[in-house]
Structure 1
Amino acid sequence: MANYKIHPSSVISADVEIADDVEIGPYCLIQGKVKIGKGTFVEGHVTLGSRHGILEIGENNHFSPGAVIGGAPQDISYKGEPTSLIIGNNNTFREFSTVNLATSKHDKKTEIGNNGYFMAYTHIGHDCKVGNNVIIANDSHLGGHCIIDDGVTIGGVSAFNQFVRVGRGAFVAGSAVVNKDILPFCRAQGNYAMARATNKIGLSRKGFSREEVSNVHKAIRIMILGSHTVEEGIARVEQECVMSENIIYFINFMKTTKRGLAIDRSPKGWQDDE
């Protein structure tokens, strides 16, 4: 016997699979091939799934009123292909947040990791890859194909161009407009957003040692300050910084950027000269 609660006013299609301890509130529409993991709470007036796509939701997620999750991608090339949206565990989607299915252009998956917090009116576009422990504040929007690595925090009313990547542990200040890749572990802000400083407080809160914060800070200063090329900056980081896991990731991020790096080389762009 199923051990879940569904309000009688909600409409659930025959293809939906619901695990134990799921609660679905009033006036929800859940349609298509949808799987909902145990412990998930779907409040009233939530829409999950679509006629065409596949929506897989992990455990202990929370969807607030007005959220629309797993709708068709906002891409005129999409013709109802059976693409997917895959959501991990312990995520919160606040009021009127939206997340779209993928298109058929790449791996056909929009993916969200674990322990995310997506505030009211946030939008995650088609084919995005969002990591673990990501926070996106109110009314911030990701265009299609964005990659947001683990531990990123994004301030409110920010906009991200399609195909942008934000590196692990970065903090993007509110009202930013992002059109290039944001360096890992930095603080970025502006229109267009540029790396301005090291996210020292955020890294300390994530458990980085004082020595490793200093190591990362040195690498970011090398890349932001000075008149050298990106390639010359990478060579300096390789020579002058301790090759920890974080620095290796930092270097690989820069070497594999496709949209270019959001770096302001002018001294006035740097906000932390410690």
Structure 2
Amino acid sequence: MKIHPTSVVSPDVEIGPDVEIGPYCLIQGKGKIGKGTFIEGHVTLGYKSGIIQIGENNHFSPGCVIGGPPQDVSFKNEETSLIIGNNNTFREFSTVNLATSKADKKTEVGNNCYIMAYAHLGHDCKIGNNVVIANNSQLGGHCEVEDNVVISAMCGFSQFTRVGRGSFIAGGSVVNKDIPPFVRAEGHWAIVRATNKIGLIRRGFGRDEANNVHKAVRILVMGTGTVDENIERIRTECKDSENIEHFIHFVKSSKRGIAIARNQKEVSDE
């Protein structure tokens, strides 16, 4: 453990072995920082009423503010948490807020995520594993991002929106409805434009399963029936697999609605 003498660390935060804390850092509240984590200079972690649980081998770049209070006028310094897994990188001036007391009191980030400069993750967000969020993208409170999602630069997400696993959000998009798994979405407002076939194959999908998922996406987006009718078509016409079941469950559990245009004529085969 190595802590620069200009940094201030709360006595209620447990510091693991091989943690390095650079100059002019402020670490507040309660919690734990796991072994091998590197905190560069001018980083702020935690808040006086917050609990931070940070896993192993994370990297916090200069100027980031992680575990600050939620930007919610109803917040009254309740004890809430931020939970971060292992092997994550938070680049310069990125921000991640503590949860409010409105849900489970937890903001969560999984493992192996890369959060680029000036990105913001609002209160109560749930971020999965292997997620990349590029520069200046902003997630409002209570957003959910599943595993293996790539969010390009300068995207905005309304509160409570969800992004399904394996999806790709193009730069400059504004998302106000749920983005299904395994797709590419773009626009203001963002809608599904294609299946994320290249991303799926890079993640180890065989071509047959990538084509199977693509067929499900086409039925959902281009089908002439209701969402429920199109789901029944997916069950009938697509080969049953864990990915198809996840896709169907995501669509059926949506509360904000799925980001598709009913007059959409084509989903790209790329």
Give the TM-score normalised by structure 2. 0.98
Taking only the aligned residue pairs, the percentage that are identical comes to: 69
How many Å separate the matches in 2 of 1:87 and 1:267?
Answer: 39
**Aligned residue in 2 for 1:190:** 187
The number of equivalent residue pairs is 270
How many angstroms does 1:273 deviate by?
4.0
**Aligned residue in 1 for 2:204:** 207
AA aligned opposite 2:219:
I
**Aligned residue in 2 for 1:259:** 256
AA aligned opposite 2:225:
H
8 Å Cα contact 2:195-2:269 kept in structure 1: no
3-state SS in 2 of match to 1:235 = helix
AA aligned opposite 2:161:
V
Q: Which runs of no fewer than 5 residues in structure 2 stay unpaired?
A: none
8 Å Cα contact 1:114-1:132 kept in structure 2: yes
How many angstroms does 1:271 deviate by?
4.7
| Superposed CA RMSD | 0.9
How many angstroms does 1:265 deviate by?
3.0
1:126 to 106, 123, 127: 123
Q: Which runs of no fewer than 5 residues in structure 1 stay unpaired?
A: none
8 Å Cα contact 1:196-1:264 kept in structure 2: no
After the TM superposition, which residues 1-274 of structure 1 pair with which residues of structure 2 at under 5 Å, given as runs?
A: 4-268=1-265, 270-273=266-269
Moved over 4 A (4+): none
3-state SS in 2 of match to 1:139 = coil
Q: Deviations over 1:117-139 (max 9, x none)?
A: 00000000000000000000000
Give the TM-score normalised by structure 1. 0.97
How many Å separate the matches in 2 of 1:129 and 1:250?
Answer: 18
Q: Deviations over 1:212-267 (max 9, x none)?
A: 00000000011111322111110100100011000000000011000000012334
How many Å separate the matches in 2 of 1:96 and 1:34?
Answer: 22
3-state SS in 1 of match to 2:213 = helix
8 Å Cα contact 1:62-1:91 kept in structure 2: yes
Q: Deviations over 1:169-197 (max 9, x none)?
A: 00000100000000100000000000010
3-state SS in 1 of match to 2:191 = strand
How many angstroms does 1:32 deviate by?
1.1
